[in-house]
Amino acid sequence: MNRYNIKQMIQVSNLSKSFDTIHAVNNISFSIRKGEVFGLLGPNGAGKSTIINLMSTILKSDEGEILINENDIKQNSTICKQLIGVVPQEISLYDEFSAVDNLIFWGSLYKVPAKILKQRIKNILKLIGLYDRKDDLIKTYSGGMKRRINIAAALLHNPEILFMDEPTVGVDPQSRNKIFEIIETLNQQGITIVYTTHYMEEVERLCKRIAIMDAGKIVAQGTQTELQKQSNVKEAVQITFQLISEVQLEQLQSQLQIKINQSEQKIIIECDVNKDLSNIISICNKSNLRIKDIKLKKANLEAIFLSLTGKQLRD
């Protein structure tokens, strides 16, 4: 079978892993399509790294099945390992080696032939924007630069899938943006990416589909719109007026034909912000209501996460 026709790149079914009494991963199932960036979003200890370690054969599951491009990870681990590149949560580089020597070391572990490896290292260093620093020792690199070399090390055997476990922790905003660009470029080249993080804005920017994790379970999964529906979080706009009377409020309500909640000079309207906002403002203007302030309450992942788990994602 031509593997490029296979839609599901990763299928995880009823996966469980415990450490003594801790159910780190508790009966989890999800699928990841070829070519997508899939986000695993959850707080500290949710089980994200454990899932990455199970999918990359570093850990063995207690129960459940993992298929990588239809290969069972337990029966065909060699094929699976070739398909996967792993960017671990902890940076694993030799400080006393140069960047290029670190990459030669990692490439030789994957048995990439020397000549191919040399060319690949060059291309990857250019991709991550560190080609001109290639001969500098890792100990002279910033945290963000080390993270980028960590990503490069995972790409040397040309994997079709990249697991990235919190790749932006401890990096400056400039390196973070560079890492996002690298991910977008790799994805455009067809690489399937699994991205773990507890930063919602990263998932919102990068991931087409998301699994929200908490305490070893997937609480909800889908696109952001699907998650919003599951969580019942509504978008709204809050408008504060200079002055609004009871009569004006009633008129506004009948014109808008949307239920509005009022407290003092403020109203809150649940609506599709992108679609409805300009119409709401125009009706207010026509009614001679002077707007003092407008606040958007978007149904972002933060609100969705809170509604699904009862917790703030950030500690």
Among 24, 40, 46, 49, binds Mg ion (CB under 5 A): 49
Question: Count of alpha carbons within 13 Å of 34, Cβ hemisphere only?
Answer: 15
192 is an interface residue for Mg ion by CB under 5 A? no
- Given Mg ion, ligand ATP, none, residue 88, with its beta carbon under 5 to 8 Å by kind, binds none
Q: Give the nearest distance from C-beta 62 to ligand ATP in angstroms.
A: 13
Give the C-alpha separation, 133 to 151, whole Å: 16
Nearer Cβ to Mg ion (197/231): 197
**Backbone dihedral angles phi then psi of residue 84, each to the nearest 5 degrees:** -110, 140
61 is an interface residue for Mg ion by CB under 5 A? no
- Given ligand ATP, Mg ion, none, residue 69, with its beta carbon under 5 to 8 Å by kind, binds none
- Given Mg ion, ligand ATP, none, residue 309, with its beta carbon under 5 to 8 Å by kind, binds none
DSSP-H helix ranges across 20-142: 48-55, 77-83, 99-109, 114-127
Query: What is the strand order of the sheet 71-72 is part of?
Result: 22-33, 8-19, 63-68, 71-72
Distances (CA, A) of 150 to 43, 99, 144, 158, 251: 23, 10, 10, 15, 61
What would the two tokens of residue 129 be?
């924007």
- Given ligand ATP, Mg ion, none, residue 45, with its beta carbon under 5 to 8 Å by kind, binds ligand ATP
**Backbone dihedral angles phi then psi of residue 33, each to the nearest 5 degrees:** -85, 155
- Find out whether 14 and 64 touch, Cβ atoms under 8 Å: yes
Question: Count of alpha carbons within 13 Å of 189, Cβ hemisphere only?
Answer: 16
Q: Give the nearest distance from C-beta 238 to Mg ion in angstroms.
A: 37
- Given Mg ion, ligand ATP, none, residue 50, with its beta carbon under 5 to 8 Å by kind, binds ligand ATP
Nearer Cβ to Mg ion (89/253): 89
Give the C-alpha separation, 295 to 14, whole Å: 43
Q: Give the nearest distance from C-beta 50 to ligand ATP in angstroms.
A: 3
Nearer Cβ to ligand ATP (26/158): 26
Nearer Cβ to Mg ion (89/238): 89
What would the two tokens of residue 244 be?
């609004």
List residues binding ligand ATP (CB under 6 A).
Answer: 19, 22, 24, 42, 44-50, 89, 198
**Interface region with Mg ion, contact rule CB under 5 A, candidates 42-50, 109-117, 249-257, 271-279:** 42-50
Nearer Cβ to ligand ATP (28/151): 28
Q: Name the strand (E) or helix (H) holding 145.
A: helix 143-155
- Given Mg ion, ligand ATP, none, residue 39, with its beta carbon under 5 to 8 Å by kind, binds none
Nearer Cβ to ligand ATP (46/200): 46
Q: Which residues bind Mg ion (CB under 5 A)?
A: 48-49, 89
